[in-house]
Structure 1
């Protein structure tokens, strides 16, 4: 049933692609396979129950008939009294009920074992190490006053022989914006996941205000860091609740209208059937890719943060919208430090400093103008994208 459920969700989620590629026959075949397997198992179980359950059900009556037949003979021959025969019948009834229940217990046991296996897949997941002592409120508020520094950061995934990141070093001072440019697979997302500690880094590689990040609890760090990705997760809720995201009572929160305006979503939301109270559907399925990205930006701007990480958040918007959102990011983004990750050089023109990543290494760095002179890759990327192409 778990396989069938996953198969059903996958097919329904990809219904547009199935129709686009005209592979309905394949989808039906994929859907029928687990159904046929379940049908065969159900028929086998039905056959077993047809044979076993009647035997178990009539055991009580069969035992009584046998006791009456044999006991009656003994009674006639005066080898057994009427009281003893009655006692045998009572004991037979007491013994039959547990025997009948065994079939039900066995069936429940089999069902329970299947459910237990599904639960174990969740319960046996590795547990994060016990968090270190939480910072008190003043210390938490003061995080990133001196910025963030990365020293020779390297990272290798457990299943890979080669390192994904190799000796990455940079720093972001308060009020500074750092850009990272790289092709797909250059290590950008891995670097982002190291900064917000979705991936664990070794001691001595990542520092906040001169303090090793491994001495901070992950909850303290993540309360100060906000990460917005190119595929943001939206809850099956209203536009307003997806932006407020549990922060409506915070005194420093913007008004909902201001956040929507800064995310370039106000005009479109006003056209929705119920405006900001319109449901966005499961995972934001009722919104386009660009709308989801802009809604996530509005959510990011709703409350301030210490470090804002924007990971390819403008990949699904047009050039006009991109220019407007970049203006909002550079002029109105409320964060002490900002990191913008992109494979589009045009997004990084106004940042203070840019790192160019290739195969997990920093191959060039500097301002936009400096990199146009010193980095062939950066210059070619910028020129190709300016002409409307992609590298």
Structure 2
């Protein structure tokens, strides 16, 4: 009794699990609705492709009817044979016209004409298949191009907080591997799907038109095939998502290893990193092989079902012919040809389903990002406001959501237009956060930031950043020439004179000119061919060339020597005339006369004033100044 209850409960659980799996498959395919807009965009190519597929298959299914007609004619020529009776409705209209044309010919001429006709039908189908691929497959390449642009464009819109919580390798994998798998859906999968639907429909219609009883028997294995597809698809969908996730992890691992290769080598951790990569690679391999094994079930299953259908056709048709000598033997030949025609489309059901499942899993991953709205956006009433007037931080507090670190606490600062402000503090005191809030990489949790009395949220983000020259703490140079890196922030190409002038202000012009190709020198990935100090100075030149009204320098002289530092500061003193500038650092610049010096600690201002006022205060600033002067004298 207990066993019966357990069995009943198991059946209920299994049914519930199957229903959940079916829902999951349907939901997964819903993710592919995101690409429907591309089908509409290229609708003329798509419609033309469908037309070529259907017409190609229509010509293909005419061959068995003509062949069956020739076999029947041969049957009639046998001694004692009677004319094979057939209805006009058994044949296609075009075939009926053809039969009427060749019916009066002698048998030899009829066979030649029918053979040439079948050859011409095959040639016509080949031409149509060419146009089919030129429309649908080329359409999928256009969609791939558009989708990659869409993903990349959306990546550009996402805010800095997004990139703190997502790996570069994963972002790259979604735009390459996932988009490629979606292309397999918009191209081959769609083409094969239309092909198999149209060919199966045409074959089944012709088969039922000829003999309903024989058709039902021959097609009986197909429901078993449908159940097999359903079961395997469920497994494929789950495994595809897991494989894609593991591939993203593998890409991230590789990308980080390449970027940090100098650190890996300096700490002699090549073996450890190889082991870590091998472990990730092995996990990906196992799951990819497991997925391939599941997909491999399709092909023998298709072959088995098609083989059974062919055997059934010959067996049942042969018995019918033996019982009824006047039976249409050509019909059996036609059915065998139809079954053979169905071999590819029916076997393609598995690969099409697999491609669709993989594409659905990939599109789901893409949708996760494409449906992510950037936190930093232009307000509906935002305007392109000139950056003039005082910069005011009013009771600003900010916490990084990904770490929970409270970077600023009730921060208040007023920077008059044209003032030079030194923002000083230990690591983690909140200095960089001030710059990032001013550039609207983030929005403050509390308080407000205004420029000329206008809140940052009422300014267009693009115009705001165009009017601020920013030198980040983490210098980044592109794999391009030095000249292009310096002129990166300009809307138009900068003149050579302007590039050199900015480089002179940054005290790097002479070093650039000593290079073999000068400003045309390629700097390599992230500026790897330059020293740390050179990269910082090129980054400073990139900010100066914009000639913005507001400049923010975030600890941009940490990799230069004292002499070069003083030279750059003196140059900046001339360049920054009548410009608003905020210099963020952990050391004191005595060569530049600052209007304000702000000392931060744990997101709060602990000291504020001019250089002389803070020395008289005899606090943190004075102590740091005395220590710095002492060190400089010691080095001298």
**TM-score, with structure 2 as normaliser:** 0.56
1:259-338 residue pairs with structure 2 within 5 A? 259-333=502-576, 336-338=579-581
Give the equivalent residue in structure 1 for 2:309: 63
Give the equivalent residue in structure 2 for 1:92: 339
Which one of 491, 501, 523 corresponds to residue 258 of structure 1?
501
1:243–1:299 Cα contact (<8 Å) kept = yes
- The worse-fitting range, judged by mean Cα deviation, of 39-48 and 19-28 is 39-48
Which one of 394, 403, 417 corresponds to residue 151 of structure 1?
394
CA 1:334 to 1:278, structure 2 compared with 1: closer, same or farther past 3 Å?
A: farther
1:33-72 residue pairs with structure 2 within 5 A? 33-57=279-303, 59-72=305-318
CA apart distance, 1:375: 4.3
For 1:212 and 1:348, the matched residues in 2 are separated by 33
Give the equivalent residue in structure 2 for 1:352: 595
For 1:268 and 1:176, the matched residues in 2 are separated by 31
Which one of 107, 111, 118 corresponds to residue 358 of structure 2?
111
Q: How many residues align?
A: 384
For 2:269 and 2:377, the matched residues in 1 are separated by 46
CA 1:165 to 1:46, structure 2 compared with 1: closer, same or farther past 3 Å?
A: closer
CA 1:192 to 1:19, structure 2 compared with 1: closer, same or farther past 3 Å?
A: same
- The worse-fitting range, judged by mean Cα deviation, of 253-262 and 315-324 is 253-262
CA 1:196 to 1:42, structure 2 compared with 1: closer, same or farther past 3 Å?
A: closer
Which one of 347, 360, 366 corresponds to residue 609 of structure 2?
366
CA 1:89 to 1:206, structure 2 compared with 1: closer, same or farther past 3 Å?
A: same
- What CA deviation, in whole Å up to 9, does each residue of 1:334-360 have, x standing for no partner? 662111111112368621111111111
CA apart distance, 1:243: 0.9
- What CA deviation, in whole Å up to 9, does each residue of 1:179-231 have, x standing for no partner? 11111111111111111111113686222112222222222221212211122
- What CA deviation, in whole Å up to 9, does each residue of 1:2-53 have, x standing for no partner? 2222211212222222222122221110111122123223433444455542
For 1:88 and 1:309, the matched residues in 2 are separated by 79
1:346–1:385 Cα contact (<8 Å) kept = no
For 2:514 and 2:360, the matched residues in 1 are separated by 51
Question: 1:122 is paired with a residue of what secondary structure?
Answer: helix
- What CA deviation, in whole Å up to 9, does each residue of 1:96-148 have, x standing for no partner? 44321111112212432343244234313323434445646xx53xx31x222
- The worse-fitting range, judged by mean Cα deviation, of 349-358 and 316-325 is 349-358
Give the equivalent residue in structure 2 for 1:340: 583
CA apart distance, 1:319: 0.6
User: Which protein is richer in helix relative to its size?
Assistant: 2
CA 1:347 to 1:316, structure 2 compared with 1: closer, same or farther past 3 Å?
A: farther
Structure (1 or 2) with the larger CA radius of gyration: 2
For 1:126 and 1:50, the matched residues in 2 are separated by 40
Q: Higher relative contact order at CA 8 Å, sep ≥6: structure 1 or structure 2?
A: 1
Question: 2:584 is paired with a residue of what secondary structure?
Answer: strand
Give the equivalent residue in structure 2 for 1:129: 377
Question: 1:388 is paired with a residue of what secondary structure?
Answer: helix
CA 1:386 to 1:121, structure 2 compared with 1: closer, same or farther past 3 Å?
A: farther
1:163-242 residue pairs with structure 2 within 5 A? 163-201=406-444, 205-242=448-485
CA RMSD, 1 decimal: 2.7
1:134–1:220 Cα contact (<8 Å) kept = no
- What CA deviation, in whole Å up to 9, does each residue of 1:232-285 have, x standing for no partner? 221111000111115274899962221111111112111222110011112212
For 1:385 and 1:101, the matched residues in 2 are separated by 75
User: Which protein is richer in strand relative to its size?
Assistant: 1
**TM-score, with structure 1 as normaliser:** 0.88
For 1:157 and 1:251, the matched residues in 2 are separated by 37
Q: Which runs of 5+ in 1 are unaligned?
A: none
CA 1:356 to 1:322, structure 2 compared with 1: closer, same or farther past 3 Å?
A: same
Give the equivalent residue in structure 2 for 1:25: 271
For 1:19 and 1:129, the matched residues in 2 are separated by 42
1:354–1:367 Cα contact (<8 Å) kept = yes
CA 1:256 to 1:164, structure 2 compared with 1: closer, same or farther past 3 Å?
A: closer
